[in-house]
């Protein structure tokens, strides 16, 4: 399963609040077909077989197709602020 940090969940929830009032809508991770190693985030409704990530309050914030979820297995989705700006990041977990 994709690991989503609490900070990323909060940012996803914030984006959803700004974009829609429909409680059935969440953010879907989709492949970017013009940039093969990039992913896009789009608004969508849950479909059969989706992996669903919820916020701490139980709000659906992220949807991932089952075939894509297998490719993201064990990766970490985070939200970071750097001097270059703010962005979601996808990385392998680091263990100390």
- 82 confidence band (pLDDT: 50, 70, 90): confident
pLDDT tier at 85, thresholds 50, 70, 90: confident
* Any domain includes 42: yes
Any domain includes 49: yes
80 in any annotated domain: yes
d(C-alpha 74, C-alpha 52), whole Å:
15
Q: Considering the domain boundaries, does residue 60 fall inside one?
A: yes
Angle at 29 between CA 23 and CA 33, to 5 degrees: 140
**In this structure, what token pair is assigned to residue 21?**
């009032």
Q: Is 44 a member of any domain?
A: yes
Phi, psi of 30 (to 5 degrees): -135, 150
Examine residue 32 and state whether it is found in any structural domain, yes or no.
Answer: yes
Our count of domains for the chain comes to: 1
pLDDT digits (tens, 9 = 90+) for 2-48: 999 999 999 999 999 999 999 999 999 999 889 878 899 999 999 99
CATH number reported for the structural domain that contains residue 51 in this entry: 2.60.300.12
Comparing CA positions, the residue from 51, 91, 95 lying closest to residue 75 is: 91
Rounded to the nearest 5°, which phi and psi values hold at 23? Answer: -70, -15
Pairing of strands 76-82, 85-91: antiparallel
Whole domain around residue 16: which residue ranges? 3-91
Q: Is residue 96 assigned to a domain? A: no
Does residue 71 lie in a domain region? yes
What is the pLDDT, as a whole number, of residue 95? 66
Q: What is the pTM of this model?
A: 0.86
């Amino acid at each position: 399963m994709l690991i989503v940090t609490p900070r990323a969940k909060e940012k996803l929830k914030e984006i959803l609040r700004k974009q829609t009032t429909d409680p059935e809508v969440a953010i879907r991770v989709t492949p970017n077909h013009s940039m093969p190693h990039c992913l896009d985030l789009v608004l969508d409704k849950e479909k059969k077989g989706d992996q669903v990530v919820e916020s701490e309050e139980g709000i659906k914030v992220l949807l991932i197709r089952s075939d894509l979820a297998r490719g993201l297995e064990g990766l970490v989705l985070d939200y970071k602020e750097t001097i270059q700006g703010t962005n979601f990041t996808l990385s392998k977990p680091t263990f100390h």
